[in-house]
Amino acid sequence: MTLLSVRDLTVSYPVRGPLAGWWTGQKRFVDVVCGISLDLAEGTTLAIAGESGSGKSTFARALMGLTPFRSGSLIFDGKAPFPARGRPARAYLHQVSMMFQDPVASLSPRRTIGALITEPFRIHRPDLRNLEAEAKRLLVLVGLPADFAQRYPHQISGGQARRVGLARAVALNPRLVIADEPTAGLDVSVQGEILNLMARLQAEQSVAFLMITHNLAVVRHMSDRTAIMYMGRIVEEGPTDRVFASPAHPYAAALIAAEPSSLPGHHRHSAALKGEVSSPLHRPDGCAFHPRCPAARPLCSATAPLPQVSASGALVSCHFPLQRTPDQ
Amino acid sequence: MGRLGLCLVLILLVAAVFGPWLAPFDPFLIDVSAKFHPPSFPHLLGTDNLGRDILSRLIAGSWIAMGVGMSTVLVALVLGLILGLIAGYGPLWLDYLLMLVLDAIYAVPTVVMGLTVVTLLGPSLTTLMIVVIVILVPGYARLARTATLSMKSEEFIVALESLGASRARIILVHLLPNIAGPILIVASMDIPTVIALEAGLTYLGMGVPPPTPSWGRILQEGFAQIGDAPWIILAGGLP
């Protein structure tokens, strides 16, 4: 069953200050996220991958109502939680939570861990009295000793702070957790622990994860479906194994091919992308990827491609999707 | 240096709290026969034009100085913190409005502000305290606002917003403890400034009305007799 359904979500930032364009009456906008549509089924994981600046984090913030979106719609569990203006409905924030990129910075520095992980209860469940027991339960749930409740954020390590962030995110038994780079800044063994913990929580509580990352190994390991973003658009979205086995969009193919191989001596054939990501201020006409695309043809610079089903069953936004994997 | 400072502060505090028991004479006691006594025993710092013991008046004045100093700074601190937090974290139009008003107050010179308020409300201890609070609040509000602005885009505030925390909760529970530290230090250093300000305004006749013993009033009264009884103004300038 579809839990979250996003249609044509666009996030734009106005160019320069609030007075820009007051004389001409026109405001210029930069589309950081432009027209994202995706569906997330209950209890599954969708990973959004893409390079820095592709709009992944902005999209995540927009889903939490932290950044207003200019157009588009969002349906969660059959309801539209966003009013025309302002912050989303409280019931929505009760069921959706977010893990932030920087685990230590996302914890209020003068509050104890115990107070921090029970913060969601203080906001959404003021009727609950025994917060200490809840804190203990959550700490045990994420594999931290119960006496951590008395510590302060600066007294714990990055991996422990990540666990605290996860505990806070799942405190209210949410149905969707948006995880922004859940493994950023952690060493590989701690990354593994966090991911296993997330997988276990998903199995136990059937929580859906929307994971933002640029670590393709994490994507492959964790997610049921994968969406590849480029300049604020999803260029390819489909079941993870199929997207990785035979990426149809040239950008997705290049991204996956650029991932280091774990086999010694084995080098994938990879055609490194030329050039830089275009500035969102001067978005290329047609397909935003065409200036860097090895397979670009005149049509690509003229019209933007619409999503179509590729040979592997993924949705791909490309006029000339690849038919073969780059390995072959 | 630190110990010397501590000793001085302790002397003042003891004088303020235990003044009624320490003072050798009643600070209001008028003894015309003993007027203009130079410093000697039993009037250690001499007497003024009405024969009141200056040491006793100084000790009694320390209560006013301390009381006015601490209570006004405390009230101004609370007001300034609240206004600064609201300006820094609240809606933009409110920020503009508050800063406009506070900067306007800030722009008026202290003495002019004092004159205006005293003219409107009449000289009294309450008026004096209102003047001092009005003068102090904009500074604290600015400090609090700047600290709030630099903190409001920190990830932990964004994380709280994502949890659905109300603005009041974010301001009181999470922003306040993080910005209060530096402002508390500034406020504690303002207490002596306020005491000097109180003495200054009283000296100009805008503060505590007679016969209340205040340091500024002793100076003012002493100034009139500077030629005949210089010890009055010297003693008044002692604290």
pLDDT tens-digit series, residues B123-177? 777 888 888 888 889 989 999 999 999 888 888 888 888 888 888 888 888 888 8
* Shortest distance, CA B89 to any CA of chain A (angstroms): 15
Q: Which domains does chain B have, with CATH numbers?
A: 55-209 (1.10.3720.10)
Asked if B162 lies within 8 A of A64 by C-beta distance, the reply is: yes
pLDDT score for A46: 93
Distance CA(A138)–CA(A149), nearest Å, equals: 10
Asked if A105 lies within 8 A of B165 by C-beta distance, the reply is: no
ipTM over 0.90: no
**Of A2-11, A103-112, B61-70, B136-145, where does mean pLDDT reach its minimum?**
B61-70
Asked if B162 lies within 8 A of A120 by C-beta distance, the reply is: no
The gap between the terminal CA atoms of chain B, to the nearest Å, is 18
Q: pLDDT tens digit string along A192-237?
A: 888 998 998 899 888 999 999 888 888 988 899 999 998 888 899 9
Asked if A97 lies within 8 A of B165 by C-beta distance, the reply is: no
Q: Judge if pTM exceeds 0.80.
A: no
Question: For residue A68, what is the DSSP state?
Answer: -
Among residues 111-130 of chain A, which lie with CB inside 8 Å of chain B? 111, 119-120, 122-124
**Of A105-109, A115-119, A213-217, B27-31, where does mean pLDDT reach its minimum?**
B27-31
User: Contacts of residue B93 in chain A, CB cutoff 8 Å?
Assistant: none
CB A249 within 8 A of CB A322: yes
Asked if A93 lies within 8 A of B158 by C-beta distance, the reply is: no
Task: For residue B75, name the pLDDT band (cuts at 50, 70, 90).
Answer: very high
Q: Which helix (H) or strand (E) holds A95?
A: helix A90-95
* CA neighbor of A212 nearest in space, from A40, A88, A74: A40
User: Contacts of residue A108 in chain B, CB cutoff 8 Å?
Assistant: 156, 160, 174, 178
Distance CA(A280)–CA(A32), nearest Å, equals: 7
pLDDT score for B49: 65
Per CATH, which fold does A42-69+81-261+295-316 belong to? Rossmann fold (3.40.50)
Q: What is the mean pLDDT of residues A14-29?
A: 66
In this structure, the dihedral spanned by the alpha carbons of residues A10, A14, A15 and A19, taken in order and rounded to 10 degrees, is 170
Q: pLDDT tens digit string along B194-236?
A: 877 777 777 776 666 666 667 766 776 666 666 666 666 666 6
pLDDT score for A47: 92
Task: For residue A328, name the pLDDT band (cuts at 50, 70, 90).
Answer: very low
Q: What is the mean pLDDT of residues A165-177?
A: 90
Q: pLDDT tens digit string along A25-78?
A: 666 778 888 888 999 998 899 999 988 888 888 899 888 888 888 888 888 888
> In chain B, which ranges are continuous DSSP H helix?
2-22, 54-89, 92-107, 110-121, 125-152, 155-163, 167-169, 176-203, 215-224, 230-236
Distance CA(B8)–CA(B10), nearest Å, equals: 5
Asked if A119 lies within 8 A of B165 by C-beta distance, the reply is: yes
Q: What is the mean pLDDT of residues A275-289?
A: 80
Compare CB distances from A123 to B156, B164, B178 and report the shortest one's residue.
B164
pLDDT score for A298: 85
pLDDT score for B78: 92
